[in-house]
Amino acid sequence: MGQDIYFTKAYAEVNALIEAGEAIFIELDNQYGHITHSAIKREIANEIDGVKYYDLITPYGYGGPIIHRCIDEARLIESYEVALHEYCEANRIVSEFVRFHPLFQNQEAFKDIYDVKYLRQTVGTDLRRFDNTFQSEFSTTARRRIRNLIKEEKYSCVLAKGFDDIEDFISIYKETMDRRHATDFYYFNRNYFYELKRRFRSQLVTTTVYYQGEIIAMGLYFLSGKVVHDHLNGTKAEYLHLSPAYLLKYTMMNWASKNGFDVIHYGGGVSNAQDDSVLKFKKSFAKNTDFEFHIGSRIWNQSVYEVLCRNRDIDSTSGFFPAYRAPVEKIKER
């Protein structure tokens, strides 16, 4: 379980580059069991009486604390909370925001430590449950479009390990985000991709659709134990009408099935809406496989939290967490 890429210190260190923070790795290993927790420690802009404070956030994707070994869960969790509280006090950590892992449901063991909330559904392709995964998990529309693309000799899709096509991917991903007017959360600088390659090269796979020899769509995946994580994707605008993204998913599904993986996890939508267009598209490859995605929050220093909120003239109980990082427009709405 703990070998999943999202739980590793190395993944947090790569993400520290885009969060402008510091990767931290907390480990508790005692007679009751073993827990690890990786996060990004971020500096809070406003000082209080000349003192800097920080908060913690899960790296892009999923994570949170995870139990590797357990003898006595109640005592393990209790000792972990004490250790985490001591760490936060010593390092002036004000609050923490966690995105728990939908595949491992690791929020269940930590509900007494964090304020845990169900956020949305995520989906995936189950590669082991069905005799015919393509027929059972892919929608009628997806199957039809894939068959049409396969019949057309102008198209081809190549799968490659090692991320040697990194510059091609960076180019097509950036173009896609620009077209969608994506928020900063979905942008990644060049250093991020090169650090991914340096640290996880053997666990990185790309799928690339060519049209008459030209790259028109690409997908980047993490191989993690028996799981394939669909990380990022991009398609050139002028080829969107051809739906090459369907061929990306089909190629990965075939390869992962043949190579002993259990599931391809696509994540969820970009909002909590039931009709979220991104989620609807991902469900085209996940008719029967979904997971619950939970978030968690914890204020480790209530008094400092309140001061930070007052200094920004914002209600500390507002829906945004942490409230002192609420975007300017949220404050104006008041």
Q: What is the pLDDT of residues 225-251, one digit of tens each?
A: 999 999 999 999 999 988 999 999 999
Query: In terms of pLDDT, which residue wins out, 201 or 319?
Result: 201
For residue 322, say if its preceding peptide bond is cis, omega within 30 degrees of 0. Answer: yes
pLDDT at 271: 82
* CA gap 81, 130 in Å, rounded: 41
pLDDT at 329: 56
Residue 333: pLDDT over 50: no
Q: How confident is the model at residue 334 (pLDDT cuts 50, 70, 90)?
A: very low
Q: What is the DSSP letter of 282?
A: H
Query: In terms of pLDDT, which residue wins out, 58 or 187?
Result: 58
Q: What is the pLDDT of residues 172-217, one digit of tens each?
A: 999 988 887 777 777 788 899 999 999 999 999 999 999 998 999 9
Average pLDDT over residues 277-304: 96
pLDDT at 328: 65
Coil, strand or helix: which one is 191? helix
Q: What is the pLDDT of residues 103-142, one digit of tens each?
A: 999 999 999 999 999 999 999 999 999 999 999 999 999 9
* CA gap 120, 62 in Å, rounded: 13
* Structure-token pair, residue 124: 């995936």
Which string of DSSP letters, residue by residue, matches 194-211? HHHHHHHGGGEEEEEEEE
Q: Give the orientation angle of helix 190-200 with respect to helix 166-180, to 10 degrees.
A: 140
> CA gyration radius for the chain?
21
Q: What is the mean pLDDT of the chain?
A: 93
Residue 332: pLDDT over 80: no
The predicted model scores a pTM of: 0.93
* Structure-token pair, residue 252: 């990965």
What percent of the chain clears pLDDT 70, i.e. is strictly above it? 97
Q: Which of 279, 230, 235, 274 is nearest to 252 (CA)?
A: 230
pLDDT at 120: 94
Residue 307: pLDDT over 60: yes
